[in-house]
Amino acid sequence: MSGEKTVIKKLPEYIDKISEEALSMIDRLTAETGLPIYMDPKTGAPMWLDVRELRLRYTLPVKSIVEFFEALRNGVMKTTKCKECGTIYFPPQIDCPKCRVRNMEWIEVEKEGELVTWTVINTKPLTFSYHNDYVVGIVRMPQGFNILAWVRTTDPRKLAPGAKMRLKIGRREDENYISYWFEPVE
Amino acid sequence: MRKVAIVGVGIAKYGYRSDATLAEIAFEAIKEALDDAKIDARDIDSFVVGNTGVWSSEPLPAVLIGEYAGLVPKNGIRVEAACATGLAATRTAYTMIASGEADIVLVIGVEKMSESTTPQVVELIGRAGNYFWEFENFGMTFPGYYAMYATSYIKRFGVKEEDLCEIAVKNHYYGSMNPKAHFQNRITVEQCMSSRYIAWPLKLFDSSPITDGAAALILASEDKAKEITDSSVWIRGWGYANGTSNLSKRSDYIGLEATRVAAQMLYKKAGVDPSNPAKYFDVANLHDAFTIAELMALSDLGFVKKGEEHLIVREKQTYIGGILPVNLDGGLKAKGHPIGATGVGMLVDLTKQLQQRAEKGRQAPIKRGWALAHNVGGTGHYVFTTILSVDKP
Ligand SMILES: [Zn+2]
């Protein structure tokens, strides 16, 4: 795997690039007028451009479900099942609110399900804006739960409710970390 | 529990408000509400601010507004329930009065979304589902979540994209008569159909805009309401519920269970026959963040059978003169959806409707004197509903 193409490198570069023009304009304006105030292009109203930027990157604990990620690394998906009452949880969680005990086993998720519904994300969030339009589907698994994930298909118009979907696990294109998606069963 | 009345309403101009700060927009609405009730800031016991924030710079909006509106040292708090923040804040204020803890409470819903860029707002609203399992890896968006429901409707019930556009056309039609609405242009089905997809099958014209706005209500106990006005509008009760964080955990994609549960609770409290609720209301505001949301609400609230909503839309039964006039202020679609202000703005308009103060052309005939408000947070993550009436409960 190339070390270049990861989301960690790509994203800040991408975001900096799209804001570069506006920021350098404000820089020029501040140098000339002494203030980061510009005229709103739509309304002509004077606007103060925030000189502080808030960059947030959260750190999320995964200790309780680390087995989920270890399984993905081995090419399988696992989730939790309560040993007391048999409830299967997806996304996996280690507490069963029904039994109020923490007594889970990890079970393997089956490889095929049926498409319930889907959409194509055309207008993307900032942190996904370098992606092409992507299809997100909700797939019903035979073990009785749904999984939401991308559906990799060449032609979203061919999708239909009930279509057979195969669960795939691997590294994400251009982002490099291991994840999961669905592909139509041909 | 004590009875609670709305004794004053105010609303700021919704839209792209590059001319005003969050506090200034909030005060536009507060001033109008105080003038409407003919009371002073000194008469307020407490205030509740509905604001979702994140896209705007001020992290403590209740404190900011308290200072700007001259309310210090009166206590005010912020309430948040995503897009249902407005009704959630109103319910908090209602409870303060009903319990006897306060006599007059000011509710302010305010949002200043344009402080962030559109891609950032798309990002922040997209995160408002389940962050890790649905956003982090799959980049869901707010229209994307609702589009999952629209796909189901289209595939299962034969709803057409044109049917959804009809809802946008209606809401723009009424919005064009509301001087406070974000959009005041009328649109055609053809214009809507030719707008670009934002989350297939939903198009730009199926979507409410990113809006700045504020709305305010003055709530009072029965005794205080009598002193203030002889045209009180009463809050008859509440229904509320939550849905799952993960959309994947919903039982179906042909409606919002939280709306169905909230409606049951509300109808029971207010004595509404759930088999024919339409006959109780002269007008309703249903949460139309997207056209599909208004469509689903029609059946989730019991006005029509599931899967037949588009038929009454085609018959224009949700216009004035139909079985239930819906969103006569333009709805979220045309009036705008300033997240925290939305629910408060619904009640401002329904109060004016019941007092027959709405502009010509969008005033419903008031016969029974009851109105329904339905405010959804996220994609059925929160739902709040309430009934307003001219007669005292
Ligand atoms: Zn259990």
Span from the CA of A79 to the centroid of ligand 1 (angstroms): 14
Quote the mean pLDDT of chain A.
94
Which domains does chain A show, CATH number per domain? Answer: 2-48 (no CATH), 59-109 (no CATH), 111-186 (2.40.50)
B378's enclosing H/E stretch is none
Which pLDDT band, with edges at 50, 70 and 90, does B55 fall under?
A: very high
Q: How far is A128 from chain B (nearest CA, A)?
A: 6
Residue A2 has pLDDT above 50, yes or no: no
Output the pLDDT for position A9.
86
Rounded to an integer, the average pLDDT of B327-338 is 98
Q: How high is the pLDDT of residue A174?
A: 85
Residues above pLDDT 90, as percent of chain A: 81
B76 located within any domain? yes
Q: Are B335 and B180 in contact (CB under 8 A)?
A: yes
pLDDT digits (tens, 9 = 90+) for B246-263: 999 999 999 999 999 999
Residue A137: count of CB within 10 angstroms of its CB: 27
Q: Has residue B14 been placed in a domain?
A: yes
Residues of chain B whose beta carbon is less than 8 angstroms from a beta carbon of chain A are 16, 18-19, 57, 117, 119-120, 122-123, 126-127, 130, 132-135, 137-141, 143-144, 147-152, 155-156, 196-202, 246-249, 253
pLDDT at A3: 52
Q: What is the mean pLDDT of chain B?
A: 98
Residue in chain A lying closest to B123 (CA): A125
| Angstrom distance (rounded) from CA B150 to CA A132 | 22
Do the beta carbons of residue B29 and residue B214 sit within 8 Å? yes
Tell me how many domains chain B contains: 1
Q: Would you state the pLDDT for residue A10?
A: 87
Residue range B368-378: mean pLDDT, rounded: 98
- Identify whether B234 is part of a domain: no
* pLDDT tens profile B183-211: 999 999 999 999 999 999 999 999 999 99
Euclidean distance between CA atoms B102 and B233, whole angstroms: 18
Tell me the CATH number at B80: 3.40.47.10
Question: Which pLDDT score, from 0 to 100, does residue B24 have?
Answer: 98
pLDDT per position as a tens digit, A115-152: 999 999 999 999 999 999 999 999 999 999 999 999 99
CB–CB of A73/A63 below 8 Å? Answer: no
Share of chain B above pLDDT 90, in %: 100
Distance (Å) from the alpha carbon of B95 to chain A's nearest alpha carbon: 30
Kindly state the DSSP code that residue A21 receives in the 8-state scheme.
H
Residues of A in contact with B246 (CB under 8 A): 91, 148
- Provide the residue range defining the domain that includes B59: 4-116+210-228
pLDDT in tens, B28-43: 999 999 999 999 999 9
Question: What's the whole-model pTM score?
Answer: 0.97
Examine the pLDDT at A74 and tell me if it is beyond 90: yes
Cβ pair A38, A25 in contact under 8 A = yes
Instruction: Name every residue whose Cβ is closer than 8 Å to that of residue B270 and which is 6 or more positions away in sequence.
Output: B236, B237, B387, B393
Query: Mean pLDDT throughout B39-68?
Result: 97
Per-residue pLDDT at A1 exceeds 60 = no
Residue B327 lies in a domain: no
Residue B62 lies in a domain: yes
**Residues B174, B362: contact at Cβ < 8 Å?**
yes
Read off the pLDDT of each residue in A9-19 and give the average, rounded to a whole number: 88
B214 domain-assigned? yes
Q: Decide: B31 and B10 in contact? Cβ < 8 Å.
A: yes
Parallel/antiparallel/unpaired status of strands A78-82 and B46-50: unpaired
